[in-house]
């Protein structure tokens, strides 16, 4: 099944608004066993929308169009679709009553301009919109004059605002798909997220062992983020699970503890969950990551159950006063050193009476490097009741990526310790 | 000039990754006087990339392609472009040396797979990538067999990671565009970034006064981010500056101190600059923002000159021990209160001996709210030698957006104080 997504909106092409529909609809459809084959963004003008619709009608079984259903002069999707398919627009009394009620509930008269939203192309299904005035529309082009074989295409028109589109999709489009366009075949997909090993090394380890499965239909994909590589295993058809399951076992065997989740979670989410399950607590001592680690951990709802305090000690004075790092250690080894990282972690753990403390000190750049300690140098330490362990990395990235990668390494050091591998 | 953007990546169609390139490139090109006419996303497979390239080559003067330049088997853009344009791939010794150096600097051997990244189609310009192994490529299809009139098209291939793509675009693609594809006409654009006033209020204040200029050709656009609204004023043609200049004066007159920059800077960059110029120092005391404020400030190169320490005090014990908040104040007013925010700010300033200290305490949600203090409640305080001032806001957003919006409000409180308006 060929699915095409068309996003209308000049503001998307000007970059003034992020295209959140692409991600949201792509994800929802993938979870339902569908796959978007093509996505396009076009401006709000009539000829552009028509051209995109013609191209999609010539190849797609399902076309999702977002935006252009509003009441203003640049909302042209409804009219373009009706004209292209030769379906006259008729005023729908039920939709008109819904729009009137929408304004009445808000103590406002219905503006005359909104009446166009009650126009429905002949033969279209109305997709009700409890959160706005624009209904969605679903139209089957059957027969479809734009396709060589005349095969039908479904056109689904959705409103632009995400808070209207998302419930409408779940409540009305998903049942329509299940009824009229069930997934052609079973599909199975699994994404293993890894940390601590680069994209080319991940591939070097797993590509060859997976080759026989790829030859029989396994889809293998990689997606690299700073400090993280996702491995996606997918297959279609009745044998899908029989391909994905052994592939996952192979990858787990080869990448082992580098895999931190198969559930689309962030690394910080996994760490908070592991600590919460064990009723263990955490303190942080950050220098070069400058609060990035605390910020990411506290993005996780419920982090307050495990996270006690984070000390962002940029200056040497703050390291001494807040963490008890010794002046002598700072003078002898420098602030960016394993010895200081260890004292930072131990000081944070002692002061906050936590099970674990993680410390990061390094040189984020662009300034501050030296021959012995270049920009990108980072020392991590983890203190627990068992021991204090330290790691050294060289993260040659721009400043912001350096912070994210170093934070990932620190979270991973903690994850492995909590799982019992270290410290 | 017809500009088309092609984003390759199955993960974009599956919704596993947001398409940030569309927004970033759309915005940058608009600021440079260009406009993207069409954008498409296709999967990583050869036939899909080829089909999208054929369509674009038939109509576009400039085609920007993102992704698919990596070292793995699903990185096919380079090969597809070379094949379609009939340009053999040749190993470029300079690029190969760059890749080897990239790995050598990281004390790692160059994986054999990365050698494909040194393949350059005949006649292509190499766009250097200081932050990664994949160079960008720029190729002029001249004559262009895919266009009826044979007019040339420029194809620019950019790497997928935003941290590599963005500096490469600024450093190599912008000069190429200026040299080979100058904008068809003069254009002037000015973006004023505001904080502390919502999108509809910004519009309510400036839309009517700007109407006469809009009627004579001024383009007026809004872009809302969490806690920030950008106002974009643009015009084309020889009279462009005569429209944009008075429009900027009007907007400055109406939005005044809400405007924090006209230079595409982040709010934290402005704050670090203002403090650096005044040789003043800062400490932070964060509860609900959980390190977000420290993280954003330390993203600014040179922040260490002004930022002494940040205390992320999630627990009451940490607020008492690290900031000297009194147990009595916590018991009487609760951790989320103006009184605690004030003591946090004063304690952070006193302990770290800084000119300013900013404190944030609130309820990020999803849990933890009450009727008196619902989720979204936030108290800010700013301590200086002159006084301690406090603010109360209700930020009704999801947890992560709440943190960003609250951090923006805290940065803005500090910005206004440093400028002499407050405290």
Number of domains in chain A: 3
B314 in Cβ contact with A317 (< 8 Å)? no
Residue from B1, B7, B16 whose CB has the most chain A CBs within 10 Å, to mutate:
B16
Report how far residue B348's alpha carbon sits from residue B383's, in angstroms, rounded to the nearest whole number.
9
Both B141 and B247 in a single domain? no
**Could you tell me the CA-to-CA distances from A124 to A76, A115, A156, A231, B255 in Å, in that order?**
17, 17, 10, 41, 46
Both A200 and A84 in a single domain? no
A:199-238 residues touching chain B, CB 8 A cutoff:
199-201, 203-204, 207, 220-224, 226, 230, 232
CA of B38, closest CA in chain A: separation in Å? 5
Per-residue pLDDT, averaged over B317-323, amounts to 95
Task: Give the ipTM of the model, two decimals please.
Answer: 0.79
A293 chain-B contacts, CB cut-off 8 A: 291
Residues 6+ apart with CB under 8 A from B90: B119, B120, B121, B122
Both A355 and A294 in a single domain? yes
pLDDT tens, residue by residue, B71-94:
887 789 999 999 999 999 999 999
- b/e code B47-70 from CB counts within 10 Å (16+ = b): ebbbbbbebbbebbbbbbbbbbbb
Report how far residue A33's alpha carbon sits from residue B181's, in angstroms, rounded to the nearest whole number.
43
pLDDT tens, residue by residue, A354-403:
999 999 999 998 888 999 999 999 999 999 999 999 999 999 888 988 99
Both B253 and B286 in a single domain? no
Report how far residue A248's alpha carbon sits from residue B166's, in angstroms, rounded to the nearest whole number.
35
B297 chain-A contacts, CB cut-off 8 A: 290-291
- Grade residue B385 by pLDDT with cuts at 50, 70 and 90: very high
Residue at a domain's end among B230, B261, B292: B261
pLDDT > 90? residue B242: yes
B377-383 and B356-362: which strand pairing? antiparallel
Residue A73, pLDDT score? 67
Per-residue pLDDT, averaged over B8-31, amounts to 88
Number of Cβ within a 10 Å radius of residue B278: 12
The verdict on residue A423 lying in a domain is no
CATH no. for residue A217?
A: 3.30.70.1130
CATH no. for residue A94?
A: 3.40.980.10
* Residue A252, H or E segment: helix A240-255
HSE-up (13 A, CA, CB side) for residue B218: 23
Q: What is the number of CB-based contacts under 8 A between chain A and chain B?
A: 284
- b/e code A22-49 from CB counts within 10 Å (16+ = b): bbbbbbbbbeebbbbbbbbbbbbeeebb
The DSSP code sequence of B145-202 is: TTSTT---EEEEEE-SSHHHHHHHIIIIIHHHHHHHS--SS-EEEEEEEEESS-HHHH
Per-residue pLDDT, averaged over B180-194, amounts to 87
Query: Does the beta-carbon distance from A15 to B37 stay under 8 Å?
Result: no
Residue at a domain's end among B197, B230, B261: B261
pLDDT > 60? residue B347: yes
Nearest to B39 among A40, A222, A368 (CB): A40
Residues 6+ apart with CB under 8 A from A331: none
CA of A92, closest CA in chain B: separation in Å? 31
How much of chain B, in percent, has pLDDT values that exceed 90?
A: 72
Residue at a domain's end among A213, A243, A261: A261
Report how far residue B291's alpha carbon sits from residue B313's, in angstroms, rounded to the nearest whole number.
9
A:364-383 residues touching chain B, CB 8 A cutoff:
364-368
The verdict on residue B71 lying in a domain is yes
Query: Does the beta-carbon distance from A314 to B293 stay under 8 Å?
Result: no
In which domain, by residue range, is B312 found? 267-418
Return the residue of A nearest to B230 by Cα.
Answer: A16
Query: Does the beta-carbon distance from B295 to A294 stay under 8 Å?
Result: yes
Nearest to A39 among B13, B17, B23 (CB): B13
Q: Bigger pLDDT: A232 or B310?
A: B310
Number of Cβ within a 10 Å radius of residue B260: 25
**Could you tell me the CA-to-CA distances from A391 to A347, A423, B374 in Å, in that order?**
17, 12, 42
Taking 50 as the pLDDT cut, the residues of chain A under it are 422-423
Kindly state whether A317 is in contact with chain B, defined as any CB-CB distance less than 8 angstroms: yes
Residue A188, pLDDT score? 87
Both A82 and A228 in a single domain? no
B:257-276 residues touching chain A, CB 8 A cutoff:
none
* Residue B390, H or E segment: strand B388-394
Both A247 and A327 in a single domain? no
The verdict on residue A56 lying in a domain is yes
Query: Does the beta-carbon distance from B37 to A13 stay under 8 Å?
Result: yes
End-to-end CA distance of chain A: 51
Residue B269, pLDDT score? 97
Report how far residue B196's alpha carbon sits from residue B255's, in angstroms, rounded to the nearest whole number.
10
The verdict on residue B55 lying in a domain is yes
Residue B421, pLDDT score? 54
- CA A46 to chain centroid, in Å, comes to 32
**Could you tell me the CA-to-CA distances from B295 to B289, B292, B338 in Å, in that order?**
10, 5, 24
Both A25 and A154 in a single domain? yes
Query: Does the beta-carbon distance from A40 to B40 stay under 8 Å?
Result: yes
Chain length of chain B: 423
The verdict on residue B156 lying in a domain is yes
Per-residue pLDDT, averaged over B175-201, amounts to 87
Report how far residue B229's alpha carbon sits from residue A312's, in angstroms, rounded to the nearest whole number.
30
Per-residue pLDDT, averaged over B283-309, amounts to 97
Query: Does the beta-carbon distance from B14 to A30 stay under 8 Å?
Result: yes
Q: Where are the beta strands (DSSP E) in B28-135?
A: 36-42, 62-66, 89-91, 119-121, 125-127
Both B229 and B275 in a single domain? no
The verdict on residue A146 lying in a domain is yes
> Tokens standing for B422?
């407050």
CA of A336, closest CA in chain B: separation in Å? 14
pLDDT > 80? residue B179: yes
Q: What is the mean pLDDT of chain B?
A: 92
Query: Does the beta-carbon distance from A312 to B304 stay under 8 Å?
Result: no
Q: Where are the beta strands (DSSP E) in A132-218?
A: 136-141, 153-158, 187-195
A:113-172 residues touching chain B, CB 8 A cutoff:
none
Residue from A228, A286, A291, A303 whose CB has the most chain B CBs within 10 Å, to mutate:
A291
Both A111 and A21 in a single domain? yes
Nearest to A15 among B26, B40, B74 (CB): B26
The DSSP code sequence of A385-413 is: SS-EEEEEEE--S-HHHHHHHHHHHHHHH
Report how far residue B393's alpha carbon sits from residue B385's, in angstroms, rounded to the nearest whole number.
24
The verdict on residue B423 lying in a domain is no
A:11-50 residues touching chain B, CB 8 A cutoff:
11-20, 22-30, 35-43, 48
B294 chain-A contacts, CB cut-off 8 A: 286, 290-291, 294-295, 312
A124 in Cβ contact with A72 (< 8 Å)? no
Residue with tokens 């791939």: B89
> Tokens standing for A412?
């991973």
Both A166 and A194 in a single domain? no
* Residue B255, H or E segment: helix B240-255
Residue A422, pLDDT score? 46
Chain length of chain A: 423
Both B350 and B399 in a single domain? yes
Nearest residue to A284 via CA among B310, B305, B349, B347: B310
Per-residue pLDDT, averaged over B374-387, amounts to 95
Return the residue of A nearest to B365 by Cα.
Answer: A301
Query: Does the beta-carbon distance from A309 to B311 stay under 8 Å?
Result: yes
Report how far residue B275's alpha carbon sits from residue B419's, in angstroms, rounded to the nearest whole number.
10
CATH no. for residue A363?
A: 3.90.950.20
B289 chain-A contacts, CB cut-off 8 A: 295, 298
Return the residue of A nearest to B109 by Cα.
Answer: A201
Both A175 and A192 in a single domain? no
Q: What's the Rg (C-alpha) of chain B?
A: 26
Strand partners, A309: A283, B313
> Tokens standing for B154?
């420029």
The verdict on residue B244 lying in a domain is yes
């Amino acid at each position: 099944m060929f699915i095409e997504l068309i996003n209308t909106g000049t503001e998307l092409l000007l970059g003034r608004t992020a295209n959140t529909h692409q991600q949201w609809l792509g994800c929802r459809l993938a979870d339902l066993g569908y796959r978007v084959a093509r996505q396009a963004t076009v401006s709000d003008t009539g000829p552009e929308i028509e051209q995109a619709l013609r191209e999609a009608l010539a190849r797609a079984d399902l076309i999702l169009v977002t935006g252009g259903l509003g009441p203003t002069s640049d909302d042209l999707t409804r009219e373009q679709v009706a004209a292209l398919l030769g379906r006259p627009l008729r005023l729908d009394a039920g939709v008109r009553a819904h729009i009137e009620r929408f304004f009445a509930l808000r103590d406002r008269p219905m503006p005359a301009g909104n009446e166009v939203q009650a126009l429905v192309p002949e033969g279209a299904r109305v997709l009700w919109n409890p959160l706005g005035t624009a209904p969605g529309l679903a139209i089957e082009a059957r027969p479809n004059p734009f396709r060589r074989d005349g095969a039908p295409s479904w056109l689904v028109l959705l409103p632009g605002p995400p808070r209207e589109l998302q419930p409408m999709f779940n409540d009305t489009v998903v049942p329509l798909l299940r009824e009229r366009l069930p997934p052609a075949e079973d599909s199975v997909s699994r994404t293993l997220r890894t940390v601590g090993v680069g994209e080319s090394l991940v591939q070097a380890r797993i590509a060859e062992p997976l080759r026989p499965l790829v030859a029989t239909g396994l889809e293998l994909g990689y997606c690299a983020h700073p400090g993280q590589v996702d491995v996606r295993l997918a297959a279609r058809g009745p044998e899908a699970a029989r391909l994905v399951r052994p592939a996952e076992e192979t990858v787990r065997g080869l990448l082992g503890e580098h895999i931190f989740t198969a559930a689309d979670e962030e690394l910080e989410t996994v760490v908070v969950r592991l600590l919460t399950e064990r009723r263990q607590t955490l303190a942080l001592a950050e220098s070069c990551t400058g609060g990035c680690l605390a910020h990411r951990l506290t993005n996780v709802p419920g982090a307050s159950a495990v996270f006690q305090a984070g000390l962002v000690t940029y200056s040497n004075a703050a390291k001494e006063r807040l963490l008890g790092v010794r002046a002598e250690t700072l003078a002898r080894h420098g602030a960016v050193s394993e010895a200081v990282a260890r004292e930072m972690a131990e000081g944070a753990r002692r002061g906050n009476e936590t099970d674990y403390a993680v410390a990061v000190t390094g040189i984020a750049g662009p300034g501050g490097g030296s021959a012995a300690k270049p920009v990108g140098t980072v020392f991590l330490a983890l203190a627990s009741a068992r021991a204090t362990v330290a790691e050294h990395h060289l993260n040659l990235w721009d400043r912001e990526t350096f912070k994210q990668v170093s934070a990932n390494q620190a979270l991973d050091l903690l994850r492995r310790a909590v799982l019992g591998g270290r410290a």
